Amino acid sequence: MERICVLGLGYIGLPTAVTLALGGFSVCGVDTQSAVVEGLRAGRTSLVEPGLDEALAEALASGRLVFSRELPEADAFIITVQTPHLTQSDGTRAADLRFVEAAARDTAARLKPGNLVVLESTVPPGTCRRLETWLSEGSGLAADEFHVAHCPERVIPGRILRELAGNDRIVGARTEAAAHLACGLYRRVATGGRLRVTDDITAEMCKLVENTFRDINIAYANELSLVAEKLGIDVFRLIELANCHPRVNILTPGVGVGGHCIAVDPWFIHGLFPDDTPLVAAARRVNDQKPLRVADAVWSRLPPGARVCVLGLAYKPDVDDLRESPSLVLCHALRARGAAVAACEPHTAAAAVDGFDNIPLEAALSYDFLVLAVGHTAFEARRADIAARPHYDCVGMLAADNRS
């Protein structure tokens, strides 16, 4: 397993390809977008990720990393394409596997006996079995002539390169041979973590369970924030005190839940088992409704004609990832109520995001009302200036000095 093909060069695929090349593999990163491929060949990436530009330059200089729109022959194929969601008529969401299937069909055209195909994309349980079928149909090989494993990514933006090497990895496969090959591949790059082997369906569920746990915990924190506001108390201080108990660990409330994982993955479980997972669906609805509840609270505080600036559009601090951004939901909800809304997202250079002007922090500080939606370091550095303006703090940054 020396020649590796990585399909999909987004937030996970590109760092994975770079890490594998620096680990000594011969790697071809494949993406369907010509602009992405050409940019990466020139050493350019649009991703904001600490250390990635330097690591990419090193991998390219080594000669072990190339980029293409066409799949080469390889010993192992790693699929890291997106798995978006489809919204159902009842408001729930289901996994959209068309990109996984397309990647499988493309891989099948290059598949040889003994090859390994690893699915890293987050998927509902049973997808690896479907992947085997797509690969077999497209290649003409029987399922026992190649190997399929699932190794879900478990990293977060801002720490991807560090966590690719340092986190434990789940290696799931239907056969012992596939698990053995996948472990041999990841053992060379996951140097600080442990490889934990299981079957493919358990591995698929593991990633969903991890993110669903966090979603439910955050939903509880978001509910507490609504109750605390009605009681006139500081929810962040409340949670800090509750977490002094040795068996309590409440997460932090915010404007909602964003990102491609936590905001989406719970639906993959609920969609398959709706009668058995009412708690999962309830938590999702609490977190989806939180930006609208924040909009109500902000609107009730606005003087007529006030200009509002929402500080932070990324789904978490100090990254540029806007996927499933609850801050954008908040912006639209405030505009729908009649507010004049702009945004300040320092991690993107775009002049406008989703129809909202993206202004510098200095300009935002002149607005009539500020909504602190994301705890970016840039905002932390101007905390006193933000606190001096009429504001609504969704993340508990501005009153932090009053807690201990």
**Taking Cα atoms as reference points, which of 110, 28, 13, 31 lies closest to residue 63?**
28
Alpha carbons 47 and 164: distance in angstroms, whole number: 16
Alpha carbons 391 and 284: distance in angstroms, whole number: 27
Tokens of 259: 């990102």
End-to-end CA distance of the chain: 53
Alpha carbons 75 and 297: distance in angstroms, whole number: 56
Q: Which is the catalytic residue, given 128, 206, 207, 344? A: 207
**Is residue 112 among the annotated active site residues?**
no
Helix/strand/coil for 150: strand
Alpha carbons 231 and 265: distance in angstroms, whole number: 33
Helix/strand/coil for 272: helix
Task: Name the strand (E) or helix (H) holding 197.
Answer: strand 195-198
The type of residue at 301 is: R
Cα–Cα distances in angstroms (integers) from residue 237 to residues 228, 243, 303, 391, 404, in the given order: 10, 10, 28, 19, 8
Q: Which is the catalytic residue, given 151, 183, 261, 331? A: 261
The type of residue at 139 is: S
Instruction: Determine the angle formed by the axes of helices 13-22 and 52-62, rounding to 10 degrees.
Output: 50
Pairing of strands 169-173, 147-150: antiparallel
**Taking Cα atoms as reference points, which of 60, 51, 53, 66 lies closest to residue 4?**
66
Cα–Cα distances in angstroms (integers) from residue 295 to residues 21, 148, 336, in the given order: 46, 46, 10
Are 312 and 403 in contact by the 8 Å Cβ rule? The answer is no
Q: What share of the chain is helix, strand, coil (3-state, %, to 5)?
A: 45, 15, 40
Task: Name the strand (E) or helix (H) holding 371.
Answer: strand 369-372
Helix/strand/coil for 315: coil
Are 205 and 125 in contact by the 8 Å Cβ rule? The answer is yes
Max CA separation in the chain (angstroms): 70
**Is residue 261 among the annotated active site residues?**
yes
**Residues identified as active-site:** 207, 261
